[in-house]
Amino acid sequence: MEIPRHWRLKKQRYALVGEVCPHCEAKIFPPRDVCPHCSGEAKTPYQFSGQGEVYSYTVMNDAPAGFEENTPYTVAVVKLAEGPMVTAQLTDLGAEPVKIGMPVEMVTRRIRSDGNDRGMIVYGYKFRPVMQ
Amino acid sequence: MTEVVIAGIGMTPVGEHWDLSLRTLAARAILSAEKDAGGLKPQALYIGNFLGSMVSHQANLGALITDNSGLGGIESFTIEAAEASGAAALHMAYLAVSSGFVDTAMALGVEKVTDMTDGVEKILATGLDFDYEGFEGVTPAAQAALLMQRYIYQYGVGHAAFNWLPLLAHTNAVHNPNAMYRKALKPEVLQSAPPVVDPLTLYDIAPYADGAAAVILTRSGLLPKKPVQKPVRLLGSSVITDALALYDRPDPLRFEAARRSVEQACRQAGILPGDVDLFEVDDFTSIYAVLALEAAGFALPGEGTQLSERGHVPLLTMGGSKARGCPVGASGLYQVCEAVTQLRGQAGALQVPGARLAMTQSLGGPASTAVTHILKV
Ligand SMILES: [Zn+2]
């Protein structure tokens, strides 16, 4: 069980809270200690819209430990509307195949259970196709 | 400045060594390198290892391995840079010898993956950004798949354009006595292989295996008048890092650390990448080899797969990670030992004629760490 780790990361995982750099105004996700664009300290929270598009994706048929119950699952790098990219699973995929460039939006979902028996369930962001 | 030379090398065969422990694999490579160097012993041992503390529940390898290999009491500790650990250990040995701090140093790469029958993929994923990649269920193979999918989309090439790399690796490994797979592949087998992590097929991913490789360094002035082996000079050694997470890079299809590491190592050696007679490129996955070839300047971005038709510098001359097998953190030192074998003219059926200058490059993750070495006889 890694409760402190999951607790520490909950803002970014539940609500896609990143940062805006007070020096150069770059939008940053996930939060960092130093702005990658201007090297200033970045500490101002910023709520991302959760809108984005698929930059790339793959399907995991053979999952690492902790993810077996989800297989097969689709993992993507999503380019957020505000600029940064994020790695996340895709969910609610219908019959439509995943495509690079496909618009997606963030939802909060169960990611995995932490540990086998006592089974703490860990939630976080996933992205689903935007209904058009 | 006195030159740093490689006085001896040692390797175990790569494979599933169920009967050999981490320490015994290490000892075999160490003793074999000492023997190759005419009995020369190191004053310091730098150990490249990624998985020992997780797969074998063993840390503090410096004390364990020196004691078990007859080197008890010398300076020794582990260097970790994921899959590039072994190459990074060589960089440490290079610094120790070139600075004059010691006269002889050894770099050892050792990896024991078969102490666990499952769960290794999750452990390998510790080389990713765990909070934001590993947590989402991404593995090293998934990262490569994400890059290959994007590459295929962005540059409009088919998956088949990558097949020449595993084909070349398997063809060469036939004649490498240390290789895990010594059977050539038929092109048809590659074309009909199903994706395992879409679009990667089984043939795009190097197989994890056990192995150990070691290199002894000294300074040219300290070599005996008649060295046992033809000394190989180490002219360049560069370690460069990039953003750990793929999503944090301005253009994930550019292996920026790989590019800068080649540039720095070549500048140290006073050569250009195009001067080398062979390049042991990292083929942990086919897409990484293509991106590394582009980063080194052998092809423009998006044109790396075309090198098979255009002709290229000899690559993966002993089978690469794909067919020699991938002893994870030790693979970077296998590359170096293989390049030394070529430069000494001891590669037998795999000999690159007239090879005098070689480059090796080992990547930790998708070039999150890139380690490049330049060797010359
Ligand atoms: Zn900034």
The SS3 call for residue B323 is: helix
Q: What's the mean per-residue pLDDT of chain B?
A: 96
Distance A27 CA to ligand 1 centre (A): 8
pLDDT at A96: 83
Per the CB < 8 A criterion, the answer to whether B337 and B36 are in contact is no
Tens digit of pLDDT for each residue in B19-71? 999 999 999 999 999 999 999 999 999 999 999 999 999 999 999 999 999 99
| B-chain residues near A85 (CB < 8 A) | 247-248
pLDDT at A116: 52
Specify the CATH number of the domain B4-118+206-376.
3.40.47.10
Nearest-CA neighbor of A90 among A37, A53, A127, A124?
A127
ipTM: 0.93
CB contact under 8 A, A63 and B137: yes
Q: Parse chain A into domains and list their residue ranges.
A: 1-48, 49-132
Cα B249 to chain center, whole Å? Answer: 23
- C-alpha span between B310 and B315 (Å, rounded): 14
- C-alpha span between B341 and B357 (Å, rounded): 12
Residues in chain B, pLDDT under 70: 1
pLDDT at A111: 80
| A-chain residues near B138 (CB < 8 A) | 75, 87
pLDDT at A113: 65
Chain B contact present for A56, CB below 8 A: yes
Distance A22 CA to ligand 1 centre (A): 7
Distance B245 CA to ligand 1 centre (A): 19
- C-alpha span between B142 and A76 (Å, rounded): 10
pLDDT grade, residue A118 (50/70/90)?
low
| A-chain residues near B196 (CB < 8 A) | 61-62
What's the token pair of residue B255?
């292996």
Per the CB < 8 A criterion, the answer to whether A110 and A70 are in contact is no
- What's the gap in Å between the CA of B322 and the closest CA on chain A? 20
Helix, strand, coil shares of chain A, percent, nearest 5, are 10, 45, 45
pLDDT at A114: 60
Output the CA angle B220-B271-B365, nearest 5 degrees: 90
State the amino acid at position A129 in one-letter form.
P
- C-alpha span between B24 and B110 (Å, rounded): 10
Nearest-CA neighbor of B45 among B59, B20, B27, B57?
B27
Structure letter (DSSP) for residue A18:
E
Tens digit of pLDDT for each residue in A46-70? 999 999 999 999 999 877 777 877 7
Task: Kindly tell me the burial class for residue A62, based on how many C-beta atoms sit within 10 Å of its own C-beta (0-12, 13-18, 19 or more).
Answer: middle
Task: Give the mean model confidence (pLDDT) for residues A5-29.
Answer: 87
According to the CATH classification, is domain A49-132 in 2.40.50.840?
Answer: yes
Question: How many beta carbons lie within 10 A of that of residue A110, not counting itself?
Answer: 13
